[in-house]
């Protein structure tokens, strides 16, 4: 940044800000105060942004943990439902086999009765 009375350069490495300023002697206190205020303002903004970033990271981690728990619960529920369905299927199959056996016996008894009625 350059003005009519001299030059000003600001360099930053992320943590530190180096300021070089060349101006007339009468402007040094004014410019120095302005630069200090600007640096303070930038440092405050960096602190706010770091705080917001930390808050966002914590929230993201909490959401990830919650999502992981919900997925785990959903998977457990699916497995429970599959297990219950398998048990129910086995029960129904056993009942079907028993019913088929009973039907076969009833048919045989009916045939025996028909034969005994026609012979008598």
Is residue 15 predicted with pLDDT exceeding 70?
Answer: no
All residues at 6 or more sequence positions from 3 whose CB lies less than 8 Å from its CB, including other chains: 23
User: Nearest Cα to 33, choosing from 15, 19, 49, 47?
Assistant: 19
Contacts of residue 71, defined as CB under 8 A and 6 or more positions apart, other chains included, come to none
The pTM (predicted TM-score) of the whole model is 0.51
The larger pLDDT score, comparing residue 120 to residue 105, is at: 105
Distances from the Cα of 53 to the Cαs of 41, 50, 93, in angstroms?
Answer: 18, 5, 59
How many distinct structural domains can be found in the chain? 1
For 52, the token pair is: 């917001």
Model pLDDT, residue 27: 64
């808050």: which residue's tokens?
55
Mean pLDDT over each residue of the chain, to the nearest integer = 85
The answer to whether 21 touches 6, Cβ cutoff 8 Å, is: yes
Give the single-character DSSP code of 27.
G
Structure tokens at 2: 């350059």
Domain that holds residue 86: 2-119
In this prediction, residue 2 carries a pLDDT of 44
Strands 6-12, 17-22: pairing is antiparallel
Kindly report, residue by residue over 42-90, the tens digit of the pLDDT: 999 999 999 999 999 999 999 999 999 999 999 999 999 999 999 999 9
């Amino acid at each position: 940044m350059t003005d009519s009375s001299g030059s000003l350069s600001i360099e930053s490495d992320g943590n530190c800000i180096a300021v070089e300023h060349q101006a007339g002697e009468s402007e040094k206190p004014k410019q120095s105060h302005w630069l200090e205020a600007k640096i303070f303002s930038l440092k405050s903004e960096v602190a706010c942004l770091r705080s917001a970033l930390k808050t966002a990271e914590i929230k993201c981690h909490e959401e990830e943990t919650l999502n992981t728990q919900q997925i785990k619960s959903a998977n457990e529920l699916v497995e429970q439902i599959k297990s219950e369905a398998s048990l129910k299927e086995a029960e129904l199959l056993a009942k079907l086999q028993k019913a088929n056996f009973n039907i076969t016996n009833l048919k045989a008894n009916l045939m025996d009765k028909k034969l005994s009625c026609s012979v008598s």
